[in-house]
Amino acid sequence: MYAKHFGLEESPFSVTPDPRFSYTNTHYREAFANLRYGIETRKGFIVITGEAGTGKTTLLRRLMRSVEATVHTAFIFNTHLGFTELLRLALSELGIGSSAQDRLTLMAQLNDYLIEQLRKDHTVSLLIDEAQDLSDEMLEELRLLSNLETDRAKLIQIVLMGQPELERKLDQPQLRQLKQRVAIRCRLAPLRSDEVALYINSRLQTVGYEGKELFDLGSVEQIARYSQGIPRLINVICDNALLITYATSKSKVSAKIVEEVARDLQLVGPLQASATEQRKKASLPANSEEGWRADFESFARPSPNQRQPKSNWAGVGIGVVMLMIVILAGTVLYSHQSGSLAALGVNLEELVSVSWKNPPQTQLTKDPLRKKTPIEERVNESYGQAPLLQEPKLSTSDADLGHTGAARTESSMISDVAEAKSEIELTGRASDHPGTAKTRPQIETSFYYSNDGAVGMEKLEFEIYRAIHNRAIRGVEVSVREGTVYLTGQVATEKQKLAAAQAARSVPGVKDVRDQIAVNSFYYPGKSR
């Protein structure tokens, strides 16, 4: 509709996987090279993954167009099939007509065809798109199919192309035999923000456009923000933006038009600012303790779209003050009857200090029908039916007793609790220091998690970030939503990227890891770019 208005021969931002529009950067060249190498050298299993819309199907179609005539391919895009149906479809793609219905006959026909092609020194490859939807049974059948081989070569090369869920599926214990057969594995990453303009210009040049710039600088920045580097989303945004520009009789797409498109498509931008940017503003060294903690605080900050529990610390403070007033008033009234405050045996100063040192971590209702949380169950098992808001009971030992054998005072125990809490906040656990005369009190670290899990999620992010930091990896940003870890940012090597994801998976409580880290060999953490 808008093609003639802008002097275009055809639409440059179609979402169909047309190989003509393939944009090649470092990641795509590496994936394409690995794909061709694995097929031509008969490696057996090849796995390539990437987020939805990153161009996996386009990569397969580009491969089918560029391979030599000696390479025969069968492209399977419907993965909701039985193994017999898949065999029949593969034979049809390879040009082998078959009316057989039973599985054994189909396998025999495929085996004969593979041996014939091997004698001609030809290669046969089975390309399976959307492989993350394959069942465990189907993946096991494909493993058995790969056993069609000679003493020196694999008769069929199988390419599994899918979303990151495929990687997690292959990590299952029952599929370990298939995982061991994967000879080449690669991943497609979204485009960096500085590549979005190059991607747009590449598609315009493919359709022969040589006019003035259609997208101003502000609009390209907004496209990069809302698409988050996903090529399919870039195409959708650009196509709608050109349509609105045409409808309003304008000649160039502006940032305001892109924002209107994003509202119509219900797209959202990045959830939070980069931790690196926050550190630059604070002028903190990248490798310092302060810089590390500034990074974690920026990661742990809740996003605008993330639902967070409501907290009103002002109300809690007022409530504590009112409680102290009531206690003080009751003490005074009692003193008039007993004649002395000493009769109470209460140290008000100590009581007030404990209350303010240890603010309540959670607000629990006393509904008898409410089901107890796992944390409450653990606390009740360890400390009886004491409320969660009370201090945990300390495990005293002989080292906790003085030289005279008398029990330690309550104030010294409270002091140890405060020290242990400080250690937990810094190291994540209560550790014993060698050489000291007394043993630290053992405290459940889960005690400090809130009932709704908000503080627990923050602790989890802290542990993940520390695990990555301990591997000397910088430039990685961490966020956690409902147990799923999202890793973004940039690192210098692919090895650092894999190590960061592995470090995140090693932290207890992590259900899933979404790795969106970009590899930039010219990026050095701590160096201004």
Q: How many residues does the chain have?
A: 529
Residues 6+ apart with CB under 8 A from 91: 74, 97, 98, 106, 109, 110, 113
Mean pLDDT of 288-303: 47
Please tell me the predicted confidence (pLDDT) of residue 4.
Answer: 83
| Burial track 400-426 (b if 16+ CB lie within 10 A, e otherwise) | beeeeeeebeeeebbebbeebbebbee
CA pair distance 188, 230, nearest whole angstrom: 10
Q: Which of 188, 208, 232 is the last residue of a domain?
A: 188
- For residue 481, being part of any structural domain is answered with yes
My answer on whether 378 and 233 are in the same domain is no
- Confidence band (pLDDT; 50, 70, 90) for 432? very low
Interval 91-104 mean pLDDT: 85
Query: How large is the average pLDDT for residues 274-301?
Result: 47
Residue 482 lies in a domain: yes
Instruction: Clarify whether residues 413 and 508 are in a common domain.
Output: no
DSSP 118: H
Rounded to an integer, the average pLDDT of 177-192 is 93
419, two tokens = 């020290």
pLDDT of residue 525: 56
One domain, residues 124 and 173: yes
What is the pLDDT at residue 498?
87
Whether residues 210 and 183 fall in one domain: no
Is the confidence at residue 526, as pLDDT, over 60? Answer: no
Higher pLDDT, residue 478 or 162: 162
Mean pLDDT of 75-95: 92
Q: Are residues 71 and 129 in the same domain?
A: yes
Q: Are 235 and 200 in contact, with CB atoms under 8 Å apart?
A: no
Please check whether residues 420 and 466 belong to one and the same domain.
no
Q: How far is CA 449 from the centre of its chain?
A: 22
Is 297 within the bounds of a domain?
Answer: no
Residue 264 CB: number of other CB atoms within 10 A? 10
pLDDT tens digits for range 328-350: 776 655 554 444 444 444 444 44
Q: What is the pLDDT, as a whole number, of residue 230?
A: 95
Distance CA 208, CA 20 (A): 12
Q: Please say which residue of 398, 425, 445 terminates a domain.
A: 445
Asked if 180 and 219 sit in the same domain, the reply is: no
Q: How far apart are CA 70 and CA 341, in angstroms?
A: 99
For residue 255, being part of any structural domain is answered with yes
Is the confidence at residue 292, as pLDDT, over 70?
Answer: no
Whether pLDDT at 296 is above 70? no
Amino acid at 510: V
For the segment 317-327, what is each residue's pLDDT rounded down to a tens digit? Answer: 677 777 778 77
Domain of 98, in residue numbers: 24-188
Choice between 370 and 212, residue whose per-residue pLDDT is larger: 212
Average pLDDT rounded to a whole number, residues 508-518? 86
Check residue 473 and give its pLDDT: 85
CA gap 446, 379 in Å, rounded? 9
Average pLDDT, whole number, for the chain?
74
Instruction: Please state the domain count of the chain.
Output: 4
**For residue 34, what pLDDT band results from cuts at 50, 70 and 90?**
very high
pLDDT above 80 for 393: no
Q: Is residue 273 part of a domain?
A: no
CA distance 90 to 203: 33
Q: Is residue 293 part of a domain?
A: no
Q: How confident is the model at residue 501 (pLDDT cuts 50, 70, 90)?
A: confident
pLDDT at 74: 95
Q: Indicate whether 207 and 148 sit together in one domain.
A: no
347/458 same-domain check: no
Residues 6+ apart with CB under 8 A from 240: 261, 264, 265
Of the candidates 298, 233, 206, 225, the one whose C-alpha atom is nearest the C-alpha of residue 268 is 225
Is residue 529 one of the residues assigned to a domain?
Answer: no
Q: Are both 359 and 469 inside the same structural domain? A: no
Tell me, yes or no, whether 282 lies in a domain: no
Domain termination residue (choose one: 422, 445, 468): 445
Q: Are residues 167 and 29 in the same domain?
A: yes
What predicted TM-score, i.e. pTM, was given to this entire model? 0.52
Q: Write down the pLDDT at residue 332.
A: 56
135 and 153 share one domain? yes
CATH number at residue 224: 1.10.8
At 444 the three-state DSSP class reads coil
- Cα–Cα distances (Å) from 120 to 71, 92, 152, 248, 448, in that order, read 11, 20, 15, 61, 69
Domain with 105 in it: what CATH number?
Answer: 3.40.50.300
- Whether the per-residue pLDDT at 352 is higher than 90: the answer is no
pLDDT in tens, 472-481: 788 888 888 8
Can you give the pLDDT at residue 507?
87
CATH, residue 464: 3.30.1340.30
| Mean pLDDT within 152-157 | 90
**Distances from the Cα of 194 to the Cα of 214, 225, 230, 468, angstroms:** 17, 11, 13, 26
